[in-house]
Structure 1
Amino acid sequence: MFAAVQTPLVTSLASPTQNQPIVTVLSGHLDHAPAGDTVRLWYGNRQVKALLSIAGDFKMVIPGLGAATDASFSYARQRTRLYLSPGDQLHLTLDFGRFDETLKYTGRGAAANNYLAQMLWRFDAAHPDPGPEQQRTPTTTPAQMRSLTDAFRQRQRAFLATYAAEHPLAPTFQRQAALDIDLEWARLLLDYPAYHRYAAKQAAVLPATYYDFLQQLPRQQLNEQATREPVLRFLSAYGGRLLPDGPLPADPAEARRLYAIATADLGDHQARDWAMYQLLSFQLNDNVAAVVAAYPTFRAQNQDSTLARNLRQMLQAQLRLQPGQLAPAFTLLNHQGRPVSLRDFQGKVVYLDFWGTWCAPCRQEMPALTALARHFAGRDVVFISVAVNDPEDKWQRVLAAEQLTGLGQVQLRSPDSTMPSAYQVTAYPTYLLIGRDGRLRRVPAPRPAAGAETVAALEQALKE
């Protein structure tokens, strides 16, 4: 499953001393996996990588794990959730062609992770138990949607209860798993109005009590776990509750109104603050004036100064990326190992593309990007593609296989997120248009697949 992101109560295998830190290990065997890629594990803000052997084996020692935590394991565009505790000696096996179906764990920590794997397979990955998203239709009413989601939650709760009765799950993990079921239930209900508006081509008529389900969520747990992925996913969907009909108006009073709604729904603590932070962050690219208007309210109301500081920094950076501002300078190596700078193309129009070989939507745009380069061949337009967080060998193979180095296409690689961060890139692919004078013209620019719209934007930039 491409992605779209857990502690047993156990005793130590050996009593650690000050000179003998607890060691946490994840190993595994992947049958029929594609060769030549890297196994990756994310936990918190850390990443551990290991090469997959020709036989399909890997092993990684996980440093700095001081407490139980959610994690994410990925290989070759497949991904699954993990739950790791200090001292776990976890071993996974799977058949890559049936990744979610065959995923199994043994060793210390297996009980919680097998629960997560079975939940994914049973209720998400292949949908042997169809969920509300598979059952809803354009004619589904709010009452019917509530019935579907309630029944789905009950099936998930029953599975958790049965599994916990048969396997040694720690009470802390069971509470977290129960919360995740409730969060998915709430997310499905939050998504329904937007789905109906899109599928039925009209807004759903919601009863006045529709959003009362939010009062059933455990606020204390939400606040304690506000930065976990399942909670953040729910809080992201909550933005549809606050802005059901479109972008945030550039009116300070609107931010105060939304804060009042969020406080009534979620309380006045971290979950509310993260919900507002996500909502305003998502508005930054296309609606910066509204974020400017809302920021004083966010700063006054927010109880986490780190969030306020982060939003302020992103807002300041975005203001520097408005049309007419100078594009941030950069120098990166191209596919031949030569340094290339933005200033090298002064006097030409630059169509700047941020992508990755790991990004399926990016790869889907490549034929249209090549056609666009062919259309403007011989004119003062340069197409610069910056691959982000890609191993050089894999990047080079994709460039060669898809013939992406001709017709005015400049291929660069950013080994980390430093350069994309200067352009406030938070999603991939992202496209920008830079004029002959080095100033931003379109932020973001239309995608290559937009066809005539993109050609028109480039033609206009050539005239300016």
Structure 2
Amino acid sequence: MFFPLSTLVVGAALRLLPAPPTTATLSGHLDHAPAGDTLRLAYGAHQGRQQLRAVLSPTGDFTVKVPDLQAGTPVDFYYARQHASLYLQPGDNVRMTLDFPAFDESLRFTGRGADANTYLAESLWQFEFGPGSAAARPQPTTTPAQMRQQADAFRQTRRAFLASYAKAHPLPADFQRAELLDMDLGWAVALLEYPGAYRSLAKQEPVLPATYFDFLQQLPLQQFDQYLGERGGKGNTAVMRFLSSYANRLAPGGLLSADPAEAPRHYALARADFGPNPASIDRAMSQFYLWKLDSSLDGVVAAYPTFRAHNRDSTAARTLRLLLRQQLAVREAMPAPAFELLDHTGKKVSLQDLRGKVVYLDFWGTWCKPCMQEMPASIELKKKFEGRDVAFVFISVGDKEDKWQKVLATERLTSPNSVHLRSPEGNDVANRYQVTGYPTYWLIGRDGRIITRIAPRPSAGPEAVAAINAALAG
């Protein structure tokens, strides 16, 4: 067979071309970083999520090779409970520098691929962590109309920041598109969370106009899968937060009714928003009922037959069925799950040992900022019940013993009427109590039965005092 000379020459030239790079390099220097931790990168979406680990040198330097990248990829950087959102493309050689005590404001990038990462750092500092960021965000104590105006203005400010930065620095088109999608989701989340935030802050129900949720029509929800994609941790977090917040669209009052007729209404609203996209409706509804298990267990039980009839996602169905069964085992009036753990002095303490006392149970961790913010109020709450039959039991989850002991001492958290326990790695106490967020507060009666799994926080003040007094009188 005869091949023209030109074809042979082109074929030979193609064989000589180097393969496009698939590896990105991230290196850097962390000033004043605490020693003894492991630097970690996480990237990829869903079940294919990858993790890489590296050791920080004694001088604060590191280098990590990220292999097998096929396109621009969001990457999460972790070290010593600090986090940064990154973006790496095949062939990038990005260098990161920062001063650890001023992590967010000192974060800098140089090298190939620096522009997208610098944008992420500057955007987060301006709109999330910087000193003026809180005032710029929408304030949920306003009226619904004012909330909409503020949310619109905040989204437009973020869009303008991206456009201005992209004009001065080349940013990949897919990166810009993903950022705009995340801005849209953040805008929608702020508006979706408004009813619950207003209720919590103003201590009354907001009066929502009939058209309040029309903003959802501005999102391409009927093509919701474009929000998912292979966008990694940041994108997945934005999507999951949207789906969790979507609960306020379906149940603006917060709680689910135990009337089975409510579930078809939920599905009608979801179909109106997501259109003929059963996968998106399955995702939204399964997340909705999962999210409501803690606060509206009876409502989820009532809705479950409708969920089974409409749901096509077998994994979601299995997950909800399992968690529903577990939640029913720890509902009000049921015996609280038994546990036996070591306290801060090394003594074994079991729930049975506290029989005869009301137990105010706090699942927390030293790593949890909201948990630590509650501790001053917790100290004051304990003082109000000194000498009475109340045991304040704190179960620390996910803490190393030395850090836990140090925080107990420095924050002066111990007292005669409190019990401080630590649930070591592998212990399933939190799982048995179906703890899904921290801090979580329970009230357990003198007889060891659950009074409530959503006890008022210490910072609720009189409400927490009243709940404990009612438990003592029961």
**TM bucket, shorter chain:** 0.7 to 0.9
Q: In the aligned structure 1, how far is the partner of 2:469 from the partner of 2:139?
A: 43
Report the equivalent of 1:252. Answer: 260
Aligned to 1:264: 272
Tell me the residue number matched to 2:189. Answer: 187
User: Superposed, which structure 2 residues align to 1:76-115 within 5 Å?
Assistant: 78-83=82-87, 91-106=95-110, 110-115=114-119
Q: Which has the larger radius of gyration?
A: 2
Q: Which moved more, 1:427-436 or 1:132-141?
A: 132-141
Q: Distance in 2 between matches of 1:461 and 1:143?
A: 42
Alignment check: 8 A CA contact 2:423 2:429 kept: yes
> Residue 412 of structure 1: which of 421, 435, 438 is its match?
421
Q: Which residue of 2 aligns with 1:19?
A: none
Find out whether 1:387 has 2:377 as its counterpart. Answer: no
Gaps of 5+ in 1: 1-12, 17-21
CA distance in 1, matches of 2:68, 2:191: 38
Q: Is the 8 A contact 2:195 2:253 kept in 1?
A: no
Q: Is the 8 A contact 1:70 1:228 kept in 2?
A: no
Instruction: List aligned pairs for 1:165-204, cutoff 5 A.
Output: 166-167=169-170, 169=172, 171-191=173-193, 202-204=206-208
Distance in 2 separating the partners of 1:224 and 1:241: 24
Cα shift at 1:335: 1.9
Write out aligned runs for 1:451-462 (5 A): 451-462=461-472
How does the TM-score come out when normalised to structure 1? Answer: 0.79
1:396-411 residue pairs with structure 2 within 5 A?
Answer: 396-411=405-420
**C-alpha RMSD over aligned residues:** 4.1
Matched with 1:347 is 356
Following superposition, the deviation at residue 206 of structure 1 comes to 5.1
Distance 1:25 1:460, change over 3 A: farther
Partner of 1:9: none
Match of 2:358, as an amino acid? Answer: V
Q: Distance in 2 between matches of 1:246 and 1:142?
A: 19
Deviation at 1:282, TM superposition (A): 2.6
Query: Which structure 2 residues correspond to residues 27-426 of structure 1 after superposition, within 5 A?
Result: 28-32=28-32, 56-57=60-61, 70-74=74-78, 78-83=82-87, 91-106=95-110, 110-126=114-130, 127=132, 131=136, 133=138, 138=143, 140-141=145-146, 144=149, 148=153, 151-152=156-157, 154-156=159-161, 158-159=163-164, 161-162=166-167, 166-167=169-170, 169=172, 171-191=173-193, 202-205=206-209, 207=211, 210-211=214-215, 213-216=217-220, 218-222=223-227, 224=229, 228-267=236-275, 268-416=277-425, 418-426=428-436
Alpha-carbon displacement from aligned partner over 1:316-344 (angstroms, at most 9, x marks no partner): 12111112111112222222334332223
**Aligned partners of 2:459 and 2:176: how far apart in 1?**
46
Q: Write the distance in 1 (CA, Å) between the matches of 2:455 and 2:133.
A: 40
Measured against aligned partners, the alpha-carbon deviations of 1:230-249 in whole angstroms (never above 9, x if no partner) come to 11122223222222234222
The CA distance in 1 between the partners of 2:451 and 2:121, in whole Å, is: 47
Identity among equivalent pairs (%): 49
Q: When the two structures are superposed, what TM-score results if normalisation uses the length of structure 2?
A: 0.77
Tell me the CA shift for residue 66 of structure 1: 9.7
Distance 1:273 1:67, change over 3 A: farther
Report the number of matched residues.
445
CA shift at 1:261, angstroms?
A: 1.5
Q: Please give the alpha-carbon distance, in whole angstroms, between the structure 2 residues aligned to 1:282 and 1:214.
A: 25
Quick check: 119-128 or 408-417, which moved more? 119-128
After TM superposition, the structure 1 stretch with the greater mean CA deviation from structure 2, 359-368 or 197-206, is 197-206
Q: Which deviates more from structure 2 when the two are superposed, residues 350-359 or residues 409-418?
A: 409-418
| Structure 2 unaligned regions, length at least 5 | 1-17
After TM superposition, the structure 1 stretch with the greater mean CA deviation from structure 2, 58-67 or 450-459, is: 58-67
Q: Does 1:430 align with 2:440?
A: yes
